[in-house]
Amino acid sequence: MEEGRSILSKMRKLLLSRSTAKWVVVGIFIGIIAGVGSLALYFSIKLVTDYLLVPLTGFTPPVSGVSGGVPNYVIGHYRMLLVPVSLVIGGLISGFIVYRFAPEAEGHGTDAAIKAFHENNGKIRRRIPIVKMVASAVTIGSGGSAGREGPTAQIAAGFGSFIADAFKMSDRDRRIAMAAGIGAGIGSIFMAPLGGALLSTEILYRQDFEVEALIPAIIASVVGYSIFAYPFHYVPLFTIPQNTILGFTHPEALVVYLLVGVLAGLGGILYVRVFYEVQKLFSRMKRVSKYFRPAIGALIVGIIAMFFPEVLGLGYGWVQQIFYNNLVLLPLYLLIILFFLKIVATSFTIGSGGSGGVFAPGIVTGAFMGAAIGIVIHPYFPFLDVTEITIVCMIAFFGGVSKAPISVLIMGTEMTGGFALFLPLMLSTTVAYFVSGMKNSIYSAQVKDRAASPAHRLEYDRPIMDDVLVSDAMRSDYPYVRPEQSLKEAIEVIRGSRTKSVVVRKNGKLEGLLSLEEIPGNVDYSSSPVQDYMNANPETISEKESIHDALDILTRVPSGKLVVVGEDREVLGTVGFAEIADAYNREIRRIKKLKVGQ
């Protein structure tokens, strides 16, 4: 046991001493858990679907191409009166699991992970990933309208938090590890490693990036994707038939894609507002136990699904049918109805406290809108395929409401293989992002930018360097020489101080500053006095000024040193970059101790 602890301690010291090695190892560990966790959730959902929803109701939902989806899917006969029963059973089980073991696992897990980053230094309780996975598998597998990206994000983020604690990493590193976990989890389950890695940096804010998380997120996302996608032979999530040619070849199509962006942005506003209004509705049900609220939401979804089973589950299969051009199954009027009903179903599934993500429902809702637009537009723009408009709209829709347009755009191309649509995706997603507005985000835990995040409060709360005076940073035991001394003596003093310059003073008063750069190479050092080569008017600063002021001056001074003077040019000390850095770090440590004491 002691030997094992010793090995772990040595590994920890090695990792923490080398930043690159640290994030390679941590990223690999997080990626393994993200990949394995994604597989576990995927097959858990399939298990619940195969042993609860299908046997009870007789309804077999369609699936995406990577999961074996086939063209010309037919709904077939199903026992519509038993659809609500399946959902209520799932809601009851999910409600009990969540509120009995980990109440913070309710709702969509990505938002909970974002909140942990900003408000809890990336700390996530150990049990939450397991609770989230089981509850989400039951919710989605029984027919609940939710996504699987939230649970996988929380699983990998939770492990990132755990491994940071295991290696006794700092709060900052724990947050980075947790953020990398979010990206790895989502990148794995969507088979979009690059988009997932970028998402880890973008999804935390509405107008900013957590760039420090990018490298570990890339490593984790690649590893997670490699594990999860292995059984599926590394093909995209959705299958695009070979006879469907995607691409941007007509500039006039940009008018259509501009319209798609506007409609996607407006639809996103509806999605967000309905979702949070339903969530508020359930939060006001004080007399109803939280254990039973997910079942109530499930009952409402079940009643809708009796007549419109398309709202059940993930919904990827319906998107796949659009790509297969099976529009007989999804005519225009039905697509319009499903757009609204999918929003309602998702809101009641997750807003009531059910467990699952909002990413997949957002993608599906956007696809319903896009297909409807495509059917209307195609006769007037025959060179635009319904599939193309569907892909662009579903990405623009969720890119807008997630406030993560860049990463969602990349994920969309990876999920569909539609890299030829990059330009339309850029236009529509950017337009949807701005049309939906900064206030309308499906992730309520997002903050505006790093300055608004409690995690970065020490960096942005107040100008720390403006509050630290030069008197607190200056070196009072500075080396000096007299003006009549020889250059040889002065050079020895400079080299002994390991700087490039030395103060020249007489009777405690400043006479000048001698820098090595100002001494000619062909002079007789032994007989030449300092006063002949010194700078008689060096840059000075008062002890009452801030180190911020000192830093501004130092950036313009080649000597790298300022002389701190008092009245009548009395030399009080010197200050340079090293002294400023030390004073700044001391102030940071002092503030942290005060915060801990609170």
> Rounded CA gap, 547 and 573, in Å?
14
> Rounded CA gap, 153 and 42, in Å?
13
DSSP 147: B
Question: pLDDT digit string (tens) for 148-178?
Answer: 888 888 888 888 888 888 888 888 889 999 9
Q: Are 391 and 179 in contact (CB under 8 A)?
A: no
Question: What pLDDT does 2 receive?
Answer: 57
- Taking the whole predicted model, whether its pTM rises above 0.85 is answered as no
3 state DSSP class of 120: coil
The helices-and-strands tally (H runs, E runs) of the chain is: 24, 6
> Rounded CA gap, 380 and 364, in Å?
25
Question: What pLDDT does 173 receive?
Answer: 87
Q: Which helix (H) or strand (E) holds 576?
A: strand 571-576
> Rounded CA gap, 561 and 540, in Å?
9
Residue whose structure tokens are 């966790």: 37
Q: Are 152 and 59 in contact (CB under 8 A)?
A: no
From first CA to last CA, the distance across the chain in angstroms is: 37
- List of the chain residues with pLDDT < 50: 17, 597-598
Q: Are 341 and 306 in contact (CB under 8 A)?
A: no
Question: What pLDDT does 558 receive?
Answer: 77
Q: Are 371 and 385 in contact (CB under 8 A)?
A: no
> Rounded CA gap, 389 and 554, in Å?
56
Question: pLDDT digit string (tens) for 351-397?
Answer: 999 988 899 999 999 999 999 999 999 999 999 999 999 999 999 99
Q: Are 159 and 33 in contact (CB under 8 A)?
A: yes
What are the residues whose beta carbons fall under 8 Å from the beta carbon of 245, sequence distance 6 or more?
Answer: 385
Question: What pLDDT does 402 receive?
Answer: 94
Residue whose structure tokens are 């590890």: 177
DSSP 132: H
Question: What pLDDT does 164 receive?
Answer: 85
> Rounded CA gap, 502 and 513, in Å?
6
> Rounded CA gap, 546 and 563, in Å?
14
Residue whose structure tokens are 């009531």: 352
> Rounded CA gap, 440 and 206, in Å?
10
Question: What pLDDT does 528 receive?
Answer: 87
Domains located in the chain, CATH noted = 13-456 (1.10.3080.10), 464-597 (3.10.580.10)
Mark residue 353 as left, alpha or beta (left: phi above 0; alpha: psi -120 to 50; beta: remaining).
Answer: left
Residue 130, CB half-sphere, CA atoms under 13 Å: how many? 4
Residue 153 vs residues 199, 233, 355, 449: alpha-carbon distances, Å:
11, 22, 13, 21
Residue 367 vs residues 315, 391, 414: alpha-carbon distances, Å:
10, 7, 16
What are the residues whose beta carbons fall under 8 Å from the beta carbon of 287, sequence distance 6 or more?
Answer: none
187 burial type by CB count under 10 A (0-12 exposed, 13-18 middle, 19+ buried)? buried
Strand order in the sheet with 480-481: 480-481, 501-506, 509-515
Q: Give the residue among 32, 19, 377, 407 at the shortest CA–CA distance from 228.
A: 32
What are the residues whose beta carbons fall under 8 Å from the beta carbon of 231, sequence distance 6 or more?
Answer: 39
Beta bridge partners of 509: 506, 570
Q: What is the DSSP string of 530-548?
A: GGGTSBSS--EEETTSBHH
Backbone angles phi, psi at 361, to 5 degrees: -60, -35
Q: Give the residue among 73, 183, 186 at the shortest CA–CA distance from 415.
A: 186
Backbone angles phi, psi at 506, to 5 degrees: -145, 125
Question: What pLDDT does 3 receive?
Answer: 58
DSSP 285: -
**Which tokens is 459 given?**
């960096």
Q: Are 81 and 306 in contact (CB under 8 A)?
A: yes
Beta bridge partners of 576: 561
Q: Are 218 and 20 in contact (CB under 8 A)?
A: no
Question: pLDDT digit string (tens) for 521-555?
Answer: 788 888 888 888 888 888 899 999 998 888 888 88
User: Which amino acid belongs to residue 581?
Assistant: A
